[in-house]
Structure 1
């Protein structure tokens, strides 16, 4: 492989907050582990803290700040059951990375288990079929050619045509509407984008072709970082009813604990603790501190993953444990703590903790 391709082709991902940045760090680490020769680029929005950007910069060749593009299509997103996907239009900025000749976009909730550099031999728009409707491609992994014109065309199409699911996948399938019938060469094998939930899979085939799997995709609202992890046994515990493969979850957590968690900033908290992103800063902060202060005698994490997931989905218990006076009490407790030695910050300058 010539040096030119190695410098001019890149894997690209996106982080809109610190929690999804954790996913990007695991994805990037998995690509490094399988020996990719290509560049790694991550797009970040204003929701990603400076501390997290610095860690991303230590792994990715390029960190690019982009603005948030919101589909504002609440009706179709409600049909999909994922109102959080409105910001996924932001991934269209990937077409603006014209310093590269060809790219592979990968969602932050994907994990590479075998080298996939061969994807750069594919044409735009190459993608794997979606498990829920195979005549559509899944937009979690796709090959594309950066182009300012394509970016402008996508934005124009978003205004005039919209998205049938309110997210990026619906719009991209409408824009690249010949994918299903025009060229089978643009159909990636399913092994390049395998869903982690067993109930989506054809189980005999999953067993038969397991060794061929190259990319795992943790689709759905529940991500690997929502599950509890036992630091003593080094094992992950699934949230009930989520359906994620225990093997794939363990793969994700093994990489996270080995390559990501030791480098996280223990003071990883967003400044606006009482915002809608409280659970995001809370999860990132908890995972940054888990080996320091979040483990009980048995090594199990003590934070409530299910409640943090409810926060992320806008289902906080405002009349119970998440009511305002409890949040205020935690803020007052944090402010009253003495300044850590050598921190150089007054108590009132210390970042607030996540909700517990």
Structure 2
């Protein structure tokens, strides 16, 4: 495989769901995501793109669930770029005020998402963050154009102006990857929300997916009228992660955390119609 990517086996499809794992905590998240994808009935490849910070042995259970493991590294960005986007500098320059980012959040790692454009053995890719669950089959997204993403909705209607990069569609191309890398590491460039800000800048005419393809967990308590389990395709645990202990919002998000735990283990996963609505949760 070209571009410094090293896969454990050849591709089995022209389409793939791809997630990124850069540390041990996201190993936990990715395992639940991979299981949710396998239970969705997809016939696309499920790819775990992982950096050298994660040993392949740590992903054995992911492979057992059908995931294709692809080893990569962080982007070859400049020292100045890396310094600007260190956790300390990025969080000080653009603090998170709506929720808490866990201690393992490393802003610079996020840019490694761009590596998926190097997976040229695929015609179409759907990227999903490792802190998400696929609740219903989403294979129709492979027929969507590049670049599609859902708006970053979790507090108010004003959120519709911004995209969230936790789920998006892409068409791999070596030329596109090189062009994106050149556009990313410009002198004095600072991407406030890392890959998310960059991708919205790079694809200013991004196509909007329905919010149900990237339903952010804070909608549960901020905009409960928008929450309908039957509509939700992908549930995304932005900010706090469901495996965190202690979890600062465990009371507010208990039903969502419980659902994630079902996927993370080998437990029976409840049907969507059997899950409580925000109004039923006290």
Checking the alignment, whether the CA contact within 8 Å between 2:153 and 2:219 is kept in structure 1 is no
Aligned to 2:275: none
Aligned to 2:121: 99
Aligned to 2:31: 25
| Count of aligned positions | 236
Q: Which of 226, 229, 232 in structure 2 is aligned with 1:210?
A: 229
Q: Is the alpha carbon distance of 1:243 and 1:174 closer, same or farther for their aligned partners in structure 2, counting shifts above 3 Å?
A: farther
Q: Is the alpha carbon distance of 1:242 and 1:254 closer, same or farther for their aligned partners in structure 2, counting shifts above 3 Å?
A: closer
1:49 pairs with 2:55: yes
| Displacement after TM superposition at 1:143 (Å) | 0.5
Checking the alignment, whether the CA contact within 8 Å between 1:131 and 1:201 is kept in structure 2 is no
Aligned to 2:173: 147
Deviations 1:236-291 (A, max 9, x none): xxx234676322211110111217xxxxxxxxxxxxxxxxxxxxxxxxxxxxxxxx
Aligned to 1:245: 253
Alignment of 1:5-154 (within 5 A): 7-69=13-75, 72=82, 73-74=84-85, 75-78=89-92, 79-81=94-96, 84-131=106-153, 133-154=159-180
SS at match of 1:138: strand
Checking the alignment, whether the CA contact within 8 Å between 1:8 and 1:99 is kept in structure 2 is yes
Task: Give the structure with higher Rg (CA).
Answer: 1
| Displacement after TM superposition at 1:166 (Å) | 4.7
Q: Which of 232, 241, 246 in structure 2 is aligned with 1:223?
A: 241
| Displacement after TM superposition at 1:210 (Å) | 3.2
Q: Which runs of no fewer than 5 residues in structure 1 stay unpaired?
A: 1-5, 180-185, 229-238, 260-356
TM-score when scaled to structure 2?
0.76
Q: Is the alpha carbon distance of 1:51 and 1:125 closer, same or farther for their aligned partners in structure 2, counting shifts above 3 Å?
A: same
Checking the alignment, whether the CA contact within 8 Å between 2:215 and 2:235 is kept in structure 1 is yes
| Displacement after TM superposition at 1:163 (Å) | 4.4
| Displacement after TM superposition at 1:57 (Å) | 2.3
Q: Distance in 1 between matches of 2:252 and 2:112?
A: 26
Checking the alignment, whether the CA contact within 8 Å between 1:77 and 1:165 is kept in structure 2 is no
Q: Distance in 2 between matches of 1:169 and 1:36?
A: 26
Q: Which runs of no fewer than 5 residues in structure 2 stay unpaired?
A: 1-11, 268-282
Checking the alignment, whether the CA contact within 8 Å between 1:163 and 1:171 is kept in structure 2 is no
| Displacement after TM superposition at 1:19 (Å) | 1.8
1 or 2, which has the higher helix percentage?
1
TM-score when scaled to structure 1?
0.61
Checking the alignment, whether the CA contact within 8 Å between 2:116 and 2:172 is kept in structure 1 is yes
Q: Distance in 1 between matches of 2:251 and 2:70?
A: 34
RMSD over aligned Cα atoms = 2.3
Q: Is the alpha carbon distance of 1:178 and 1:77 closer, same or farther for their aligned partners in structure 2, counting shifts above 3 Å?
A: farther
